[in-house]
């Protein structure tokens, strides 16, 4: 690995404009080479991941707009089911 002290000294000797360019370049590199994610065992899984692994996601087929029409659908289903009362 490159000696950190030497790098710091070299950067300090550069003009301010070059230091700014170097900082921008470092940001680009950080985006291009992100840190590897911690192992799956060490991280807590999200509820979505847990449901997907359990097979519950994709288990049923429903209307695509159910998230916006669920009250109407529920009302119709319940009235059909319990209409005889």
pLDDT tens for each residue of 35-70: 876 665 557 888 888 887 887 776 667 777 778 888
Single pTM value for the model: 0.39
Task: Judge whether 57 lies within some domain.
Answer: yes
Structure-token pair, residue 31: 């985006």
Domain count, the chain: 1
**Domain encompassing residue 63:** 47-81
pLDDT band at 15 (very low <50, low <70, confident <90, very high): very high
Task: Judge whether 73 lies within some domain.
Answer: yes
Vertex 44, ends 50 and 36: CA angle to 5°? 110
Task: Judge whether 71 lies within some domain.
Answer: yes
Task: Judge whether 18 lies within some domain.
Answer: no
Task: Judge whether 16 lies within some domain.
Answer: no
How far, in Å, CA of 44 to CA of 27, rounded?
28
Task: Judge whether 65 lies within some domain.
Answer: yes
State the average pLDDT for the chain. Answer: 82
Task: Judge whether 76 lies within some domain.
Answer: yes
Task: Judge whether 8 lies within some domain.
Answer: no
């Amino acid at each position: 690995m490159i000696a950190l002290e030497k790098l710091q000294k070299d950067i300090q000797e550069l003009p301010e404009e070059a230091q700014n360019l170097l900082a921008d370049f470092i940001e680009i590199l950080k985006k291009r080479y992100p840190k590897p994610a911690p192992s799956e065992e060490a991280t807590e899984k999200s509820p979505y991941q847990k449901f997907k692994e359990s097979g519950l996601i994709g288990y049923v087929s429903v209307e695509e707009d159910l998230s916006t029409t669920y009250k109407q659908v529920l009302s119709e289903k319940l009235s059909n089911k319990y209409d005889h009362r």
